[in-house]
Chain A
């Protein structure tokens, strides 16, 4: 039977009983895990391993890629013509939309007191093809065919033409792993475009939904709201579209609202994504946080600290609007931080722009019609406009 093993070339750890060898390897694995998780000593090793694994990943992806290629090359003339017409129409649309961009950018620069319009926050783009997709409920990752040789770095923002997709986690020489915004381990700091309220969108483990678990039950949010990146967290710049709110549940016994949003990016159908380099000195660039980069190793921007502070901080100026007490945290948590984000404050109706305290007496007004949550939309239409223009400008 197999009792006469192949004696030649016995591998490492061959001597001793199975128990001994198991202990040896288990200790090795534990040490590796410790070094990888706690100390980050294994980045170099990971880089090498990712390089070695890339051919296998390419091989694994080759049947689907070949199939897609065959299908594309046998596409009928009519379909190609239809697609061409569609693309032409789309391009005309975009040209029309960006016609006023120059004027708007200039105007925005003037409003900010700058002499010239700001350059776009995105400095450089690089298209990357998706080599491998993992879309299980536990891991939502992509492997793309651009790596360190293309200048890709860790925690780089990845977009498609609709919105945010994720960020790079492990960068190999020719490939990089992207954690999607829908991964349960990923959290992206967002802002509700209509109200300016900031929160965190956490992946829900399927390609079509995000969860917003940190919103109080009385938060001003409704389905259809657009979520854009808030610029906090040090990875994504401000104002890029992320998702649209699809459902809001308010349970009387729950202190937090249960909110779901659908990502705008076509995460499960994309075949190409864009890697983006941003100007670090741009006002809409990701806010550099001293400690966040240390936390990015697992692909999770350390966002919890930022989710919590606004409320306690606001408790002090809150009292003016005493009656709708639970409501006060909401609008104010949105407002006082805005000057830091550099945008909507200057364009707000009150010209006393840099003073965060002056707009605050104004905000309790939206708080009074608070019981009926959809209504705050009416006192607030002033905010969306600056936001919208700002977000367009930011791109």
Chain B
């Protein structure tokens, strides 16, 4: 498999960002997974050289501009997620989809927890348990997302 180009990674990240900020009705919004986190995590696992912590950081910064109460919140959380992804990429890539999804759930839970902790630290009262739903839907959507993101590179290989 060829390493995916940087343009491809940035393009998918941009699409994921659009999906993340797309206005949705509230009931659907609760279920919407963190597409950008999924995409960035995918690249950190499958292309740890290009899609590494810098990608996570800047993608997080973009999220902060759109929906962050504090500049740097999502950046920190996404940098942590990509760090986990880069660190564990060899172990994860060989696993079947189900176990990958479990790992993704863990990473998303870490991500949500970091956001939650920073919300609390910066005095933004957020007590809704609904944010954890994103971790579940994200993990459930991991196999299709991984298939879509991996489609091009496997085709080229």
Contacts and interface: CB of A to CB of B under 8 A. Distances in A.
Interface residues of B, number: 52
A13 interface: yes
A6 B30 contact: no
Interface string A70-86: 00000000000000000
Given A2-B48, A60-B22, A134-B23, A22 B67 contact: no
A31 B50 CA distance: 25
Given A5-B47, A22-B80, A32 B71 contact: yes
A135 B18 contact: no
B29 A135 contact: yes
B86 A5 contact: no
A33 B52 contact: no
Contacts of B71: 32-33, 35-36, 42, 45-46, 49
Contact of A6 (B1, B6, B87): B6
A61 B128 CA distance: 27
Given A30-B76, A50-B65, A137 B3 contact: no
A286 B143 CA distance: 54
Interface in B30-69: 30, 46-50, 52-57, 60, 62, 65-67, 69
A138 B76 contact: no
Contact of A29 (B30, B60, B124): B60
Contacts of B56: 25
A136 B17 contact: no
Nearest to B4: A2
B144 interface: no
Contacts of B50: 5-6
B148 interface: no
Contacts of B3: 1-2, 4-6
B26 interface: yes
Contact of A18 (B4, B30, B70, B86): B86
Interface stretch (A51-59, A116-124, A192-200, A351-359): A51-59
B122 A33 contact: yes
A25 B21 contact: no
A21 B83 CA distance: 9
Contacts of A133: 23
A184 interface: yes
Contacts, number: 145
A29 B118 CA distance: 11
Given A26-B80, A53-B66, A138 B130 contact: yes
Contacts of A6: 3, 5-6, 49-50
B23 A61 contact: yes
Contact of B23 (A28, A32, A60, A205): A60
Interface in A170-210: 184-185, 205-207
Interface bracket on A: 35 or more
Contacts of B26: 135-137, 206-207
B18 A60 contact: yes
A135 B130 CA distance: 13
A25 B126 contact: no
B17, B25, B66, B126 — which one has the most chain A CB atoms within 10 A of its CB?
B66
Interface in B54-100: 54-57, 60, 62, 65-67, 69-73, 75-76, 79-80, 82-83, 86-87
Given A49-B65, A137-B26, A205 B128 contact: yes
A12 interface: yes
Given A2-B49, A25-B79, A30-B72, 4 more contacts: A29-B75, A36-B71, A42-B71, A138-B126
Interface of A: 1-6, 9, 11-14, 18-19, 21-22, 25-26, 28-33, 35-37, 42, 45-46, 49-50, 52-53, 56-57, 59-61, 64, 132-139, 141, 184-185, 205-207, 298
25 contacts: A1-B3, A2-B46, A2-B49, A4-B49, A6-B49, A11-B55, A18-B53, A18-B86, A18-B87, A25-B54, A25-B79, A29-B60, A29-B79, A32-B72, A33-B71, A33-B118, A33-B122, A52-B65, A56-B17, A133-B23, A134-B29, A136-B130, A139-B69, A184-B126, A206-B26
